[in-house]
Amino acid sequence: MVRLCVIKNHLDRMGGEMTDSNDTKNDDQVIGTITNKRNPDQVVEVIYLRNENAFRTSGIRSLLNMKEILIPVYMVANDFQLVGAIISEILERISVARETGIPFEYARRFEVLDRVYTLSESGDFMKLEWE
């Protein structure tokens, strides 16, 4: 849980907040939440999907009418803090687009700290991966 605290500090600087949670739902575990500090009613959960060996967001579709994000376990294991920061930034961009009335589309390819990431359609999700 120390890693969640580290990511919480990073998200605090970015305008989001991640908190620990031990709730379970259908054998999937909520490992934390990201809260929009400007609009605390906007909360997105990060859930571990045991059967898919992946993490996913929960709340993007209901709050912002966009596909949820699927994150492979290997990415989270490699750099939990960075993955949380990327999700927080994506949520911020969706939220700003919605507030300003500008259409939003997930970037298919983007770079963070000299590493290229992709978001590709995967069923009901946008799957985050690196190249």
Do 55 and 73 contact (CB within 8 A), yes or no?
yes
**For the residues 51-65, what does the mean pLDDT come to?**
93
Residue with tokens 């939990």: 80
Q: What is the pLDDT of residue 11?
A: 39
% of the chain beyond a pLDDT of 90? 42
Do 27 and 50 contact (CB within 8 A), yes or no?
yes
Residue with tokens 């699927």: 70
The per-residue pLDDT for range 77-130, each reduced to its tens digit, is 888 888 888 998 898 888 888 889 999 999 999 998 888 999 999 999 999 999
C-beta neighbour count of 104 within 10 angstroms:
16
